[in-house]
Amino acid sequence: MNKKKWDYIVFILTHGRPDRVTTYQTLRDRGYTGEIYLIIDDEDKTGDEYIKKYGDHVIKFSKSAIVKKFDQGDNFKDRRTIIYARNACFDIAESLGYEYFIELDDDYQSFEYKYKKGFIFGAKDVKSLDDVFKLTLNYYKKINVSSIAFAQGGDYMGGASGTTSYKRIPRRKAMNSFFCSTKRPFKFIGRINEDVNTYIKLGNKGFVFFSILYISIVQRQTQEQSGGMTGTYLDSGTYIKSFYTVMYNPSCVKIRMMGTTQRRIHHKINWKNAVPKIISEEYKK
């Protein structure tokens, strides 16, 4: 690997699915030519299968060690969630000699360009992730934010004329995929719903997280596949998941019902109370 060409590393966070790391092949099919490391934990019973298939590109971390470095938000014994790997990646990237790294889940089927097409969003498959990653990383380097993420399907609900609409400015959230730097460290918090817990709680303190709407990741439905966090979600559904974010941020998050035919509990964020605002210079005394 030519480190002058690649100043970042890509991590795929995975657990219990050595034969279904969809993201790995998707990265190659979509034109990413750099290094990929699979991040697994030492409590994964399928660890040897990962190593057999991916060899030296598997990195195993200690869950017992990393759990001491952040707040889980509970005293439950179930540790089948991704937050441990998310936080371990900062130390792993540094140990490999990289300042910048990208965290990805293991179930990405595609990366898409999104564009406004009348009242709906059009989509075209990304063919060169090398270019997409490079451009996104260059943007990340130039601005003072903790992390940048690609959008997800839910970010386009309501179509191009909906409340989220297609804007040139990023959305102030980050979920699932993360561009990070060891020089801008932060801790993910809360055993479940860790991404939302983190961008709201830290956002409340002035940290900034962005999602870019030009690029979207396409994933499998969580509960349609085994391994990963599926077992945890099947055990508790979205009820407990959503309440973690309420617990961390009671001043700006509440519970609501979401959906039409298949309604479920979900969190709702009041952004007026969530993050600091930039006040116009005209009000300066």
Q: Do residues 126 and 31 touch, judged by C-beta distance below 8 A?
A: yes
**What per-residue confidence (pLDDT) applies to 154?**
81
Length of the chain: 285
* 235, two tokens: 């055990």
| Composition of the chain by helix, strand, coil, percent to 5 | 35, 25, 40
- Number of helices (H), then strands (E), belonging to the chain: the values are 8, 11
The confidence score (pLDDT) of residue 1 equals 43
Query: What integer pLDDT is reported at residue 264 of this predicted model?
Result: 78
- Kindly report the number of other CB atoms within 10 A of residue 19's CB atom: 9
Give residue 4's pLDDT. Answer: 47
pLDDT value at residue 233: 47
* Confidence (pTM): 0.88
CATH architecture of 8-227: Alpha-Beta Complex (3.90)
Question: What are the φ and ψ backbone dihedral angles of 126, each rounded to 5 degrees?
Answer: -70, 135
Beta bridge partners of 278: none
| Per-residue pLDDT tens listing for the chain (285 residues) | 444 457 999 999 999 999 999 999 999 999 999 999 999 999 999 999 999 999 999 999 999 999 999 999 999 888 889 999 999 999 999 999 999 999 999 999 999 998 887 777 889 999 999 999 999 999 999 999 999 999 998 888 766 665 555 555 688 899 999 999 999 999 999 999 999 999 999 999 999 999 998 999 999 775 555 555 555 545 556 788 899 999 999 999 998 887 777 777 888 999 999 998 877 788 877
DSSP 284: -
Exposure string (b/e) for 107-139, b if CB count within 10 Å is 16 or more? bbeebbebeeeeeebeeeebeebbebbbebbee
What residues does each domain of the chain span? Answer: 8-227
Residue pair 88/263 in contact by the 8 Å Cβ criterion = no
